[in-house]
Each structure stands twice: as structure tokens, then as C-alpha cells.
Amino acid sequence: MSSVPKPAPQSERQAFYRKIDKASVAPLWEVLHDLITHAPKTACVPAIYKWQELHPYVLESGGLITAQEAERRVLVLENPGLRGQSRITQSLYAGLQLILPGEVARAHRHSQSALRFIMSGSGAYTAVQGERVTMHPGDFIITPSWTWHDHGNPGDEPVIWLDGLDVPIVELFGAQFMERMEAQSQRTSHSEGESLARFGANMLPVNYVPGSRTSPLFWYPYERSREALATLAKAEAPHPAHGHKLQYVNPATGGFPMPTIATFLQLLPQSFSGKSYRSTDSTVFAVVEGKGRACFGDETLHFEPQDVFVMPSWTAYSLHADQECVLFSFSDRPVQVALDLWREQA
């Protein structure tokens, strides 16, 4: 007599499922193949956000709502596969923020970590935990988790930057907190460039002990980063997939500048034709200089300065430069590395 149970009729199984549903349990075997897949599966899709199309919309928003009313006047870059979820990848948020001359975006703080990458305009500032820094195109600026920050524009032109935040990651853990300062702007107690002098010259203060996994250097000027890329381009051959690519680092640890977001800057020489590459961290790119193409499958995204494009997890793509190009990018790689999940394939 066989001890192997015979498959039950489908009707009997469905009746069982309805019965156990009342106890808030469900059969794993019905969903296992969707939960644990052969390769990464995401609703995030490759997409490009064209500056020439979005720039007028961003400026138009300035006439519809003030920075004071909006708190942060931002157009969220929603991934076409994730509409309505305020995210550009499954784990990251991105948006284009505008501050007009004479405006102040009030001081607040939140548990989410944020980056700013300046897209256009000069003369505005961001203040982080008592230190102001004037923003210029191409600058990468960090707002660490739970630090007071506000923005202002005493200049004479609109300033727009790309925001990148780990909102979905923090939401996953149910750790969202936000607090507003009573005053619109925080009092600055540090001179501009103080953190750059203290941490940005391959030196650290004597007896310095990191108090956070976030970089103590919160302003990475584009001029310095661009010069480093140019020097590398003269000294060595480009990587077959990335061209000349550098990772922004925490100068106190040598690790990622933020615990949840990695940031990079890369130069593609003119006529560069990159090899196919893929990795598990979905990546958001912002074009700083030059024109080129990102190719995946049979499709091509043509990019030019100030465009933003995204490549999802485990999507094989290649980068090609019609002119010399500089690309800024960010991803959730630090989280994946910390959890032993990150993987790449070239």
C-alpha cells in the first residue's frame, strides 16, 4: 500500500484555501515561483526623462505654487512601471526640485537620507546642520538622515536640482519620521566650505571618530570631481563597460558616502562603445555633459545634457558616446552589499 498521498481535486484545494484564509494564512506552493524567481524580477522599466520636455514643466510649477506652500516644490520622476508609487526604482525616489530667486524652502529633517545633484542655475544654497554651501551645476550634496536642512535662493536665476532619496527603503522598514523646525531657516554656525576643508583634502581632524556611516563631507564640488576624471582619462585606458568611472566615498571610512545610496561619476570618451553590463542595483543616471546612447535589448535611449535615465536591476545595457560624456549616477548598492545581495555581470 503506497504511503504517497494522491493529489487532491482542485475543488477540494480551493475549499481548503478559503477555510485557511479566515485565519490569515495562505499556501506557499501557490506563490513560491513568484516569490523566489530564477532571476531578479521588477516592475521597474528602463526610462528616460528628457530635460527639454521637463524643464518647462518645472519652471511652470513655479507659477502655480510657492516654495512655502509646497514645502518642497518637486516634480517626482515616476518610473513608467511604478506609476503612483513616487519612486524611480523599486527602492529609490527621484525628483526635480525648483527654487526661485528670493525663495526659502523651510527647514525640516527626516529619517530618509537625501542627495542633491545640481542640474541648472547657480546662486542658491542648501544648509545642512548649521553649514551653508552655495550650489553650482554638477555639485553632489548630501543631506544625511535626521539632519536639519533648508534651501534658499538669494541669487537672480531659478535653480533646479535632482533629488535622490531612499524613501522606499525607509518605508519598507516602517521607520519614517519627519519634523519641521519652527523657524523657516536654521541658524548657520559654520563658515561655508568648513566641512570641505576638514574632510575634503585627504586629511581628517586629529582624533576624529566617525559618529555616523554617512560621510562627514556633505559637499562634493563638480570642479574637483571633473578634474579627477580628466586626469584619469589621460593616464589610462577606459574600462570596457564603464569608461572612466569613479565612486564618491566617505573620506573617513573609504566606504560609500551614504549608508543606503551609492553615487558615481564617469567619463565616456568620444566614440566610446561600451560592452554590455548588468548588476542587481537599479541605477539612475543624470547626464552632465555630452550626447550618447544607452542600449538595452533592441531598444535605445538617446541622451543629452541634463536628461535623466534609469536602468532596472539585472537589465543588460551598454553605453555609447557620440561626444565626450560625463554621467552622474546613484543606486541602492550599499544596502545590497551590506546584505550580501549585490551581483554584477560584464
Q: How confident is the model at residue 142 (pLDDT cuts 50, 70, 90)?
A: very high
CA atoms of 105 and 79, how far apart (whole Å): 26
DSSP state of 303: E
Query: Is the pLDDT at 9 greater than 60, yes or no?
Result: yes
pLDDT tens by residue, 14-28: 999 999 999 999 999
pLDDT tens by residue, 159-195: 999 999 999 999 999 999 999 998 888 888 887 888 9
Q: Give the position of cell 541669487.
A: 155
SS3 85: coil
pLDDT tens by residue, 81-94: 999 999 999 999 99
Percent of the chain with pLDDT over 70: 99
Nearest to 95 by CA among 170, 169, 168, 163: 163
CA atoms of 202 and 193, how far apart (whole Å): 15
Quick one: residue 324, left, alpha or beta (phi over 0 = left, psi -120 to 50 = alpha)? beta
Percent of the chain with pLDDT over 90: 91
Quick count: other Cβ atoms within 10 Å of Cβ 143? 25
Instruction: Return the amino acid letter for 44.
Output: C
Q: Which residues contact 191 (CB under 8 A, 6 or more apart)?
A: 131
Quick one: residue 20, left, alpha or beta (phi over 0 = left, psi -120 to 50 = alpha)? alpha
Lookup: cell for 190: 559654520
- What is the average pLDDT across 153-161? 97
Query: Is the pLDDT at 267 greater than 90, yes or no?
Result: yes
- 40-345: CATH topology is Jelly Rolls (2.60.120)
Domain boundaries, the chain: 40-345
Task: Give the mean pLDDT of the chain.
Answer: 96
